[in-house]
Structure formats: C-alpha cells, structure tokens
Amino acid sequence: MRFLFKTDYEDDIKLFPHSGYVVSYGILLALLLIAPYALSSYLMSQLVFVCIYAIVGVALLILTGFTGQASLGHAAFLAIGAYTAAYLQTYNVPFPVYFLAAGLLTGIIGAMVGFPALRLTGIYLVIATISFALIVEEILARWESVTNGNEGMRVKTLSLLGVAVPRDSPTFYYLCLAVLVLTIVGTLNLLRSPTGRAFVAIRDSETAARSMGVNVALYKVKSFAISAAITGFAGVLFAHKLSFISPEMFTLQLSIEFIIVILIGGTFSLHGAVLGAIFIVMIDPFLTYLKDDMPGIIAGIAAAFGASTGTAGNIQSSVAAFASLNGLKGAIYGIIIVLFVLFEPLGLYGRWLKIKLFFQLFPLYKRATFKRQKIYVKSERNR
Amino acid sequence: MSYFRAENLSLHFGGLKAVDAVSFAVERGEILSIIGPNGAGKSSIFNLISRIYRPTSGRIFFEDQDITEEPPYDIARLGIARTFQNIELFENATVLSNLLVGRHRHSTTQLWQELLFLPSVRANEKVHRRRVEQVIEFLDLEPYRDKLISGLPYGVRKVIELARALCSEPKLILLDEPSSGLNVEETDDMSFWIRDLKNELGVTVLMVEHDMSLVNRVSDRVIALNYGRVLAMGSPAEVQQHPDVVAAYLGA
C-alpha cells in the first residue's frame, strides 16, 4: 500500500495524486486512441454512445451528485442542444458556432429552470424537472415551423473546417472523446475551486453553507446552468450520431437512463459517470440478446429435463411473449435501480474501490470500512 | 458606539414571544456569554443575527452599519461567523474541504477562471490552504485533515465547526453551546481556545452556553435571558447572584 506524504499545497491541488495515476490514465487514453483501429464498427458506435452518455453523466453528477439537486429533466436539455444544432444547421451555420450556441442556449434555459427550483427540494424538485421535460417534449412536437413536429429533423453530416466528418468515422469518435475529456477536466477544475466546494456545501447543509457566506440561490442556479450547458453540448453530438432527431427520442425514459448512469456508476466521483455510461450502453444489446436467445435456451433446458417437444415449444413461445412485453425494459431498469440502491449504494466505482482496498490491505480488509452511518441529528428546523 | 449591538430585537411566532425586545451591546475584543434556561431564546438570537430568522422588530448593528436587512450570505462576508448547536458540517466531504468552505467569503475567482484553473485560481487556492493550515495547527486538527466528517467522533466535529468559523477570519464569532456534548477534558480545551481567540486572534466572541464553569472561566460579561427577556447583565459573578436569575433557574 502506498502512503502519500504531502510536502506542498500543490500535492493537495493536483489532479493526479501520484505518478501511478498518470501511468494508468495514460495507458487508458492510449487504448482509447487506438480503439478505432482495433474494434469492430459496431463496438466503435457503442463507444461513441458511451462518450455521449458519460458527458451527460458528468453534467448530472455536477447537479445531482455534488449540488444535491435531483433532476429528471436532462433528456429535455439534451433535446434542446440537439434541436438547436439541427435548426442552426439549416442556416448553414458552421459546426463550432452552433456547438457553442447549443451549449449557451441550453445553459440559459438551465438557469431559468434553476430559478423556480430554488424553493423546491427532494421529490418536489424531481416533479418540477419532470414537468419541465414534458413541456419541452410537447413544444418540440407542436412548434412545427422550427422543429418540424413529430416528423423529426434530419441532421446533416458534421463538417469540421470544411472536412466532412461522417458519424461512424474515427474522427467523430475522437471529437466525442475530446469533448468528454475536456468536460471531465473542466469539472475536476471546478470541484477543486471555491465554486465546487460551495456546491458540496449546499448538498450537505444549506444552513451552514449560507452562514459561511455562500449565496445558496446563486450557486444552485449556477449548478443548473453548468449542468444544462454540458448536456447541451452532448445533445449536439447525440444529434449528429443519430443523424435524425424527433421528439419521441427525448422522453422520460431517457432521463431515467441518465439517472441510472450516475446511480449505478456511483454518485460521489466522476469515474461513476463513465462506468455508468458503459453499463447503460452495454445493457441494451445484452437485453436484445436475452430477448432473442433466452426463449430458445429455456426451451432447450426444459427439453433436457424431459419435457415433451410440445411442452418445450409452449414454454418457448410463452417466454418469448413475456420477453417482448411492452415496458419490460422500463421494469428491468427499475429493478436495477432498486437493487443498486439497496445493495451497492456507492455504485460500480464504489465496488471497484472496495476491491482495490481489499487487495491493498489483504488480509486485513474490514467489511465495515465503507459503512457510513448518520449518527447525529441535524437541526432540520433551521431549513 | 458599540462594536455590535442589538436594539429592541423581537422574534414572535404567532403569540409566542421567543425573543422579546432584547437590547444588548458587545464591545470590540470581549467575550460575552448569553445564559438562560431552555427555551429562553438564546439560540433564536443567534439565528436572528445570522438571518436564518427575520426579526419581527428591532435592529442589529455591526461596526455602526445596520445589518438587519442584509441577506444571510452577506452576514458572513461582513465578518460574522458562527457555529451551530447541533453541528452543521458538510458530512460527505473531508475536513480540509469543510474548512476551505469557511474561506468562501475570501474567494475572488470567477467561474470561467475556475473551469480552466488559471494560475490566479491556483495562487488563490494556495493562500486559502495556508490560512486553513494555520487554523488546523491552532486547534490541533492535524490527524483529521484528510478524513471524511462522517467517520469522525462528536468531540472532533465540534472543534472542526469552530475551525470552519475561524477559517473565514471573522471579526465577531457566534458560538452556539461550544461545550455541549463534550467531556470535561474537551471542555477544558475549548475554554483555552476561546480565550486564545480573544487574546491571540483578537476575535470578539458572543457565546451561548449552559456550562457555568466554562462561562465563569472565559466570559468578560454575561447576559441572562428568560422567556425572551433580559433578566440581568454584568460580570459573571453579578449575574449569578442576581435574584431574578436565581429565581429563573431554581424556580423560586
């Protein structure tokens, strides 16, 4: 186990606590850079989605993980970013301009959502953000002169400095990766500055934050604006990746997927956003695989246990019918959230830390190390 | 004029007069304790000063400036820091970042500078950390520097709250029952620190306290409250012998 001896304030501030991190993240970055030459085009496409979901995950972590303001409206922010890009494209605005414009517009709308949210906490805030998302969805469907209504909008191929960047080209992947890395670095910078600490202070005790001179309202709005702006950037990439956008893509289910990203990844660290994004992007092909192959496998097992051909066929068709039920995906997502909240509240990244610590301390690891109890009652009446 | 003063401060919840026309003044560099039975309105006065509650009537002045209408976050900016009776720390953050939040009123960097972590932000961070380190040293918190609050015992948390208030380099500090929940040894430490606050750092202290031995040891003056009204004001000995105070405590 490595002990860090801090001899300078710089040791507290720097992004990588020791050289080991530089090596491991360097290797990771190198692997990600050569990925287009090693992976199949299907996996590359999935990797682009991982990047986009991770960007939204980081955005949501800023708001929910670090500022403590839950949001089920991030699909709407993504939609605003995507539609801004698609709309400006029709006027032949160059990519860098509409990319920044989408972030800016989404950020401003995020701040506007933040204002009414100032007086709401917990479940009420969740309801407010859901209603915001529903309003946006409805506007997208009805404002036909701009959004083309339910028919959706076609997104032209991205062109960067006059060079066309198709959505399945390595360049597009590098672009998404670059945005993700910049987002993560920017967020880490924020978290080690006064603003990031003010966010955490608001999450843990608004009363104390206020009495330490934090303008709680201002910082909540800032948090909403930053989170929305980042999601807006992700929306532009999302639009280009799909090359076609329509209102029914940005539903409540997408917002829930974003919440799953951070809940499953872990809400206390930016690693969580990336791990959760990998999880959510990979679970879809896995569910499809189950849906296609599961009935056959179960029927095979039943046959092996001596079921007649007819019975096995019946089992196969009923499992297949169950697997293609409407809303099954939503139910599975729900079960996943419940199981993670109950049994792995620190998420995948928390699990990784536990495994790491287990080997570092072997054989002295204690299971209670990560147990945190809230022992002392806070003065709720001061809220 | 006095350094800090409250004039006819009242806080009514419906018919209940939690604080009823209380006037007092704090001189620069003194330690003033507020004592009184439970429900006398001691903590309410603190919550009025730090603007968690809005006073029903009355005015508060600090350094000859009327601060009655200031928003809560500006109270800290003026140099008034406080601790809480039931510990309000940022549970899921390290001791260091808790203390750095205490430095918030001194942060001057803009959001865009922080996103890029420009050299100016880095330089500011170092200044903050140097100040925080002085407070850590002053209050003997070195062993807990990088620990999460949620894993620390009560006594240590109490000290960290004092440390966080000190990190803002306050001119006036409000201590809400600094010794509640502490054992005899920890209370002794606390009394030395409160003395040092005044003598070494030159901070003016306004304190709510139940432990009379601590009050006697550190206070220059004492105010006794009951049912939101001032019963007596003066030196610790005078106040304790005041017939109204004796009656309030013993119910005679």
Interface test with A, best of B117, B126, B171 (most A CBs within 10 A): B117
pLDDT in the model for residue A294: 82
Is A283 in the B-facing interface, judged by CB distances under 8 Å? Answer: no
ipTM of the complex: 0.92
> What's the mean pLDDT in B130-144?
94
> What's the mean pLDDT in A141-167?
87
Count of Cβ atoms closer than 10 Å to residue B142 Cβ:
10
pLDDT in the model for residue A360: 86
Going by pLDDT thresholds of 50, 70 and 90, the confidence category of residue B124 is: very high
Is A172 within 8 Å of A257 (Cβ atoms)? no
Q: Which residue in the block uniquely carries the two structure tokens 């603003």?
A: A195
The per-residue pLDDT for range A216-259, each reduced to its tens digit, is: 999 999 999 999 999 999 999 999 999 999 999 998 989 999 99
Distance in angstroms (rounded) separating the CA atoms of residues A129 and A77: 11
> What's the mean pLDDT in B120-145?
93
Q: Does residue A2 carry a pLDDT above 80?
A: no
pLDDT in the model for residue A80: 96
DSSP code string of A260-292: HHHHHH-TTSHHHHHHHHHHHHHHHHHHHHHHH
Across the interface, do A194 and B73 touch by the CB < 8 Å criterion?
no
Q: Which residue of B has its CA nearest to A10?
A: B126
Tell me the backbone φ, ψ of residue A154, rounded to 5 degrees. -85, 135
User: Which chain B positions have a beta carbon within 8 Å of A372's beta carbon?
Assistant: 92, 148, 150-151
Exposure b/e, A323-348, CB count within 10 A at least 16 = b: beeeeebeeebeebeeebeeeeebbb
Across the interface, do B114 and A205 touch by the CB < 8 Å criterion?
no
Q: Does residue A376 carry a pLDDT above 70?
A: no
Residue B19: its H or E element: strand B16-26
**Hey, what's the torsion of the CAs at A134, A137, A138, A139, to 10 degrees?**
120
CA distances from B64 to A149, B4, B157 (A): 62, 8, 34
Going by pLDDT thresholds of 50, 70 and 90, the confidence category of residue A185 is: very high
Is A96 within 8 Å of A105 (Cβ atoms)? no
Is B117 in the A-facing interface, judged by CB distances under 8 Å? Answer: yes
Across the interface, do A207 and B52 touch by the CB < 8 Å criterion?
yes
Going by pLDDT thresholds of 50, 70 and 90, the confidence category of residue A54 is: very high
> What's the mean pLDDT in B226-249?
90
Q: What percent of chain B has pLDDT over 70?
A: 99
Is A268 in the B-facing interface, judged by CB distances under 8 Å? Answer: yes
Among B77, B91, B117, whose Cβ lies nearest the Cβ of A213? B77
Please name the amino acid found at residue A173.
Y
pTM summary value: 0.91
> What's the mean pLDDT in B17-32?
92
Across the interface, do B52 and A209 touch by the CB < 8 Å criterion?
no
Q: Nearest Cα to A197, choosing from B191, B164, B48, B157?
A: B164
- DSSP SS3 for A1: coil
Q: Which residue in the block uniquely carries the two structure tokens 């709401």?
A: A120
Is B69 in the A-facing interface, judged by CB distances under 8 Å? Answer: no
Q: Could you tell me the maximum CA-CA distance found in chain B, to the nearest angstrom?
A: 67
Radius of gyration of chain A (CA): 23
Q: Does residue A378 carry a pLDDT above 70?
A: no
The residues, any chain, with a CB within 8 Å of residue A18's CB and separated by 6 or more, are A2, A4
Q: Does residue B188 carry a pLDDT above 90?
A: yes
Distance in angstroms (rounded) separating the CA atoms of residues B238 and B235: 5
From the CA of A266, how many Å to the nearest CA of chain B? 14
Q: Does residue B114 carry a pLDDT above 60?
A: yes
* Partner residues linked to B155 by β-bridges: none
Q: Nearest Cα to B184, choosing from B217, B220, B140, B136?
A: B217
Going by pLDDT thresholds of 50, 70 and 90, the confidence category of residue B98 is: very high
Going by pLDDT thresholds of 50, 70 and 90, the confidence category of residue A372 is: low
pLDDT, chain A, mean: 89
Q: Which residue in the block uniquely carries the two structure tokens 């246990």?
A: A305
Q: Does residue B208 carry a pLDDT above 70?
A: yes
pLDDT in the model for residue A381: 45
Higher pLDDT, B177 or A365: B177
pLDDT in the model for residue A331: 86
Is A376 in the B-facing interface, judged by CB distances under 8 Å? Answer: yes
> What's the mean pLDDT in B113-140?
93
Q: Which residue of A has its CA nearest to B44?
A: A382
Q: Which residue of A has its CA nearest to B46?
A: A211
Q: Does residue B43 carry a pLDDT above 50?
A: yes
Q: Does residue A320 carry a pLDDT above 90?
A: no
User: Which chain A positions have a beta carbon within 8 Å of B175's beta carbon?
Assistant: none
Q: Does residue B251 carry a pLDDT above 80?
A: no
Is B168 in the A-facing interface, judged by CB distances under 8 Å? Answer: yes
Q: Does residue A87 carry a pLDDT above 90?
A: yes
pLDDT in the model for residue A1: 61
Distance in angstroms (rounded) separating the CA atoms of residues B195 and B211: 16
Going by pLDDT thresholds of 50, 70 and 90, the confidence category of residue A291 is: confident
User: Which chain A positions have a beta carbon within 8 Å of B93's beta carbon?
Assistant: 197, 200-201, 204
The residues, any chain, with a CB within 8 Å of residue B205's CB and separated by 6 or more, are B30, B31, B32, B172, B173, B175, B194, B197, B198, B218
From the CA of B50, how many Å to the nearest CA of chain A? 7
Q: Which residue in the block uniquely carries the two structure tokens 């860098």?
A: A96
Is B74 in the A-facing interface, judged by CB distances under 8 Å? Answer: yes
The residues, any chain, with a CB within 8 Å of residue A166's CB and separated by 6 or more, are A157, A158, A172
Across the interface, do A212 and B168 touch by the CB < 8 Å criterion?
yes
Task: Please count the residue pairs, one from chain A and one from chain B, whose beta carbons lie less than 8 angstroms apart.
Answer: 137
The residues, any chain, with a CB within 8 Å of residue B66's CB and separated by 6 or more, are B59, B60
The per-residue pLDDT for range A96-123, each reduced to its tens digit, is: 999 999 999 999 999 999 988 888 888 8
- DSSP SS3 for A11: helix
> What's the mean pLDDT in B4-30?
91
Across the interface, do B90 and A208 touch by the CB < 8 Å criterion?
yes
Distance in angstroms (rounded) separating the CA atoms of residues A231 and A55: 7
Distance in angstroms (rounded) separating the CA atoms of residues A19 and A21: 5
> What's the mean pLDDT in A3-16?
83
Residue B39 tokens read as 């429900």
Q: Does residue A202 carry a pLDDT above 90?
A: yes
Is A3 in the B-facing interface, judged by CB distances under 8 Å? Answer: no
Residue spans of the domains in chain A: they are: 40-249, 285-381
> What's the mean pLDDT in B187-211?
92
Across the interface, do A204 and B150 touch by the CB < 8 Å criterion?
no
Q: Does residue B71 carry a pLDDT above 80?
A: yes
From the CA of B47, how many Å to the nearest CA of chain A? 9
Interface test with B, best of A3, A61, A193 (most B CBs within 10 A): A193
Going by pLDDT thresholds of 50, 70 and 90, the confidence category of residue B33 is: very high
Going by pLDDT thresholds of 50, 70 and 90, the confidence category of residue B252 is: low
